[in-house]
Structure 1
C-alpha cells in the first residue's frame, strides 16, 4: 500500500470512527436508561441481543455492584487504626494509614458488608469509625461471545446488517478535523 493509500485509509477510518463513536455513546446511554427503566417497571436487568435475522449474539445486563467500604472520615479512621493496629501506621510529618492496609481493610469490610472488623489475632469485633458502605452506580455490561462477533462480521460483509438509529453515510458531519 502506498503512503497516499495509507493516508486515505487513516482519514476515512478516523472520520468513521468519530461518527460511530458519538453514536455509540448515545446508544450506550439509551441502553442503560432502558435497562434502568425495565428494572424499575418489571425487574428485568438482562436482555438477549439479536441480529435482525433473530439469531442471538449476546446479552446486555444492568450490573448493580454491591456497596463498597470507603473512608469517609479520614481523621476518625486514622485514630482507630492508631489505637488498634498501630503497626499499620507510618509516621512522618503526618500520620496516615499504610495504603496497603487501608486497601486490605476496606476490601474485608466490603466483603463483610459492614463497617465492623474482626481482629484476626484477638477475635475482637471493632466498629471502624470513619468508614461507611457506599452504594455504587449501576452500569451496563454487554457480552458478545466470539460466535456473536462472527455473526455480526458475517452480516456486515453480506450487507444485511441493519441498525435502527444509525445514521447513513450522507449524515456524517463534514469538515470535522480529527
Structure 2
C-alpha cells in the first residue's frame, strides 16, 4: 500500500469518524428526549432495539440516578468540619476540608439519603450544614451485546440499514468531491 493511499484512507476515516460522532450525539440526544417523554406519558423507561427484520440486538434504558450529597455552602461545611474533625481541615492560603474526607462524608450522606453523618469514632449523628441531597440528571444506557454487534455488522455489510438514514454527507458540494 502506497503512502498516498494510506494518507487518503486516514483522511477519509477521520472525516467519517467526525461526521458519525456528530450524528451519534444528535441521535443520543433525540433518544434521551424520547425516553423522557415516554416515561412521562406511560412510565416506559426501557425499550428493546431491533433491526428491520425484527431481530433484537439490545436494549436502551433511561437511568435516573439517586440524589447525591453535594456541598452547597462550603463555608458552613468548613465550619462544621472544623468543629467535628479539625484534623481533616487543611489551612494553606485557603482553608478547606481535606478532599478525601469530604468525599467520604458525601458518600456516606448519599448512602443514608439524609444530610446527616454518623461519626464512627463516637457514634454521634451530626446534621451537616452546607450539604444537600440534589437530584442528578437522567441519562440513557444502551446495551448491545456481542451478538447484537455482530448482527449490526452483518446488516451493514449486506446493505440492510438504509431504512435508518444513518449518515448523509450532504455538507460537501458534489464539485468539491471530484478528484
Q: CA deviation at 1:79?
A: 0.5
Mapped partners of 1:9, 1:94: distance in 2: 53
SS state at 1:57 partner: strand
Mapped partners of 1:49, 1:162: distance in 2: 16
Q: TM-score, normalised by structure 1?
A: 0.91
Mapped partners of 2:99, 2:122: distance in 1: 23
Structure 1 residue 103 and structure 2 residue 112: aligned? no
1:123-175 alpha-carbon deviations (Å, 9 max, x no partner):
11110000001111101111111111111111111222234343445x35356
Could you say which residue in structure 1 is the equivalent of 2:8? 8
Could you say which residue in structure 2 is the equivalent of 1:74? 74
Correspondences of 1:13-162 after superposition (within 5 Å): 13-162=13-162
Between 1:65-74 and 1:18-27, the stretch displaced more is 18-27
Aligned length: 175
Kindly report structure 1 stretches of 4+ aligned residues shifted beyond 4 Å. none
Unaligned runs of 5+ in 2: none
Q: CA deviation at 1:89?
A: 1.3
Unaligned runs of 5+ in 1: none
